[in-house]
Amino acid sequence: MGIFSKLFKKNETVSAKNVEDFVSLTRVYFQSVLAANLGITNIRFIPDVANFKRLFKIPTQGGRLGLGEKAASRKMLMQDYGISENFFKEIDASIKKCCRTQNDVQAYLFMYQGFSNDLMMLVGNLMQWKFRLPSIFKGALHTMTEKTIHDICTKPVWKQDDVHKTAMAVRQYKERLGYSEAWMTEYVFNVVMLAKKEPKKKDNQEEAKK
């Protein structure tokens, strides 16, 4: 089971791989890198790491908070979700670039949250019908996601004002945070594929109740 599945002791019908757990594990990695890089010692400052550490009983490595949690969350993301090495390298580089002191942490996390929220909302708007493709067309969906991300990052003008404003905001976030189109595609595609599985699981549970 995933992090929240274990944490809240959900029943075994819950999928081991879901959006909530993927996003949570990603946050754990972010916060672990911040803790390790900046010498954060107050675990209350990084709540996702605190939950993760307690749940999986991760020992503190070398007396530094974040090192063990970073390695453990990275391993889970790679094994359970097939996340690439470059995904983590870009996070590490982004945090190194933007967070020089602990005072930079809250602003960085706020900026990343805005980036992630706007990106997912925009992709959802632009790819509506494409999300209905069956999971067997995984390759085609990945190509479409990649193209949509490229359009968001390069297309100068969008017909709808709200889409144009959000695309420009995402582009600004991207430049400030230092993430590539490949990173954005990998993140979005994993969320999309996991989200596609969840309604089916719910529908199956409803059928079982009838």
pLDDT in tens, 136-194: 788 989 999 999 999 999 999 999 999 999 999 999 999 999 999 999 999 999 998 89
pLDDT score recorded for residue 165 = 97
Domain ranges of the chain: 1-83, 102-210
pTM for the model stands at: 0.85
Can you state the angle between helices 181-209 and 138-154, rounded to 10 degrees?
A: 130
The better pLDDT of the pair 137, 117 is held by 117
Rounded mean pLDDT of 23-35?
96
SS (H, E, C) 22-78: HHHHHHHHHHHHHHHHHCCCCHHHCHHHHHHHHHHCCCCECCECCHHHHHHHHHHHH
Q: Over 90: is that where the pLDDT of 42 sits?
A: yes
- Binned at pLDDT 50, 70 and 90, residue 1 comes out as very low
> Which residues is 61 bridged to in the sheet?
64
pLDDT in tens, 74-101: 999 999 999 999 999 999 999 999 999 9
pLDDT score recorded for residue 199 = 52
**Secondary structure class of 156 (helix, strand, coil):** coil
The better pLDDT of the pair 202, 110 is held by 110
- Joined together, the tokens standing for residue 57 give 């009983």
